Chains A and B, each alone.
Chain A
Amino acid sequence: MIVVKPTLDIILNPLESLGRFSRLLFHAFGAVSELSIYRKNLWEQMVKIGVDSLPIVTMAAGFSGAVTTVQTAYQLVTPLIPRSIIGAIVVPSMILELGAVVTGFILAGRVGARIAAELGTMRVTEQIDALESMGLNSIGYLIVPRVLAGIVMFPVLYVAACFVGIGGGMLIGDLGGFVPAEEFMKGAREFFQPFDPIFGVIKSLVFGFLITSISCFKGYYTQGGAEGVGRSTTQAAVASCVFLLLADLVLAATLL
């Protein structure tokens, strides 16, 4: 019996969380019809999630592109391989992987933690109960705008990250003498696949949904005062990153 209960908990706890998560999403989608009430909130969240994240996302993407260029050049020291191959590697890397994943990790930390802390604090200070007691659908008011803002703004950030990342890679390649800008772009064009950006946008939509919905879930069901808020915030960031990596693998395996 001493062994059975912890074993059962290991199996049942994630299942219980999945059930509660599904129920939360079900209620959230049910509240989409009342979006006109929450329109102002949606706009605020789009600014907080999208516009406010733009500087850090573009900075990280720029450095990722630059570092990828430098490391690719370092590995291709043989004169038998044309330098334009650097552009052919860096650009798809940004579009297929780095643009979405770097943005995802930054948003998991910046946006995911903020959402969980905000909703967690509202829960422990009875602000969510206050919304409910007024007759408002708290899930509709708090969660739908955040998840929709994530789904809408993540692809925008992804596109910005790709442009800045590719630009950063090209600039460092040119300034550092690794590959001239024209050759970098020549390589990028030669190996460009039209499906790559579509795949990137699909990925960013999925990541946007995962990060915001997981963080909302963790924050909305916070228990236990300030310590509980801290726990929810950490769990939101960690769970978002883990599910982001998992989704990355699943999408690559199924769509590419």
Chain B
Amino acid sequence: MISVSNVNKSFGDKHVLKDVSVDIPEGETIAIIGRSGSGKSVLMKHLIGLLSPDSGTVTVDGIDINAITYAELRRVRRNFGVLFQGGALFDSMNSFENVAFPLRTFSEMGEDEIANVVKRCLAMVELEDVGEKLPSELSGGMQKRVALARAVALQPRYIIYDEPTSGLDPETSNTIDELIRNLADQLNVTSIVVTHDMHSVLNIADRAAFIYEGRMHWTGTIDELHRSEDQILKAFVTANEYKIGLS
């Protein structure tokens, strides 16, 4: 379980996260939603200790990740797979090497076994044939799918998705949504999806947490989201529905 308690974070004069608290139970898919610049990605980086809060705590399985050594933090991070907004594939490696990288670095597997796992992961994202291709030779959607294959290669307990569908066409977005849902069902991982795409949220999430102007404004299940009378949340959801309606 991941627990964020009363986290504050400022960059210079800008107070980005204001007393943010949220609990993410094991096995759940939670969508952290909010407008661009509301602090979603900053919160996401706190979950794996890429940023430290000015005050407040972030605990993973009961461990306060800001009160441990760097070596211990790195051990905690090995429970996570992260899909970054732009994929963050290593551009000096081809797709196969990208997916094999965490296996070669952290597992005791031999090359044959690694090759099998990589093939399985690439097949899961329906990209069996791109192993030899460099990231620059792949489309944005394909890069994200290879990055997703890399994120799940070590079978993490938590997967964080940072804007998984941003910049993608609706069809590719649906494919990514489907992959996220399948992974959550098949591997029983805890998924944290940072997004402002309500279409995705409705497709994949069990619960949503809405950040507004740096504060955790609302949390609840998707059913509760539909029924909510909160004006700010409704305005955000409606704006998305309007966009979906137009597209």
Which A residues lie at the B interface, using CB under 8 A? 37, 121-122, 125-127, 129-130, 132-137
Contacts and interface: CB of A to CB of B under 8 A. Distances in A.
Of the listed residues A127, A130, A132, A136, the one surrounded by the most CB atoms of chain B closer than 10 A to its CB is A130
B75 interface: yes
21 contacts: A37-B105, A125-B86, A126-B85, A126-B86, A126-B88, A127-B89, A127-B90, A129-B50, A129-B82, A129-B84, A130-B82, A130-B90, A133-B48, A133-B160, A134-B78, A134-B82, A135-B74, A135-B75, A135-B77, A136-B74, A137-B70
B87 to A, nearest CB: 8
Contact of A127 (B75, B76, B88): B88
Contacts of A134: 77-78, 82, 101-102, 105-106
Given A37-B105, A135-B106, A130 B88 contact: yes
A122 B48 CA distance: 19
Of the listed residues A126, A132, A135, A136, the one surrounded by the most CB atoms of chain B closer than 10 A to its CB is A135
A125 B88 contact: yes
Contacts of B229: none
B240 to A, nearest CB: 25
Nearest to B45: A129
Contacts of A137: 70, 74
A127 B82 CA distance: 11
Interface string B76-99: 111010101110111100000000
Contacts of A121: 91
A133 B82 contact: yes
Q: Sort A-B residue pairs by CB-CB distance and give the 5 closest, nearest first.
A: A130-B88, A135-B78, A135-B77, A126-B88, A133-B82
Given A129-B45, A133-B48, 15 more contacts: A121-B91, A122-B90, A126-B86, A126-B88, A129-B50, A129-B82, A129-B84, A130-B90, A132-B77, A133-B80, A133-B82, A134-B78, A134-B101, A135-B74, A135-B77
A129 B44 CA distance: 12
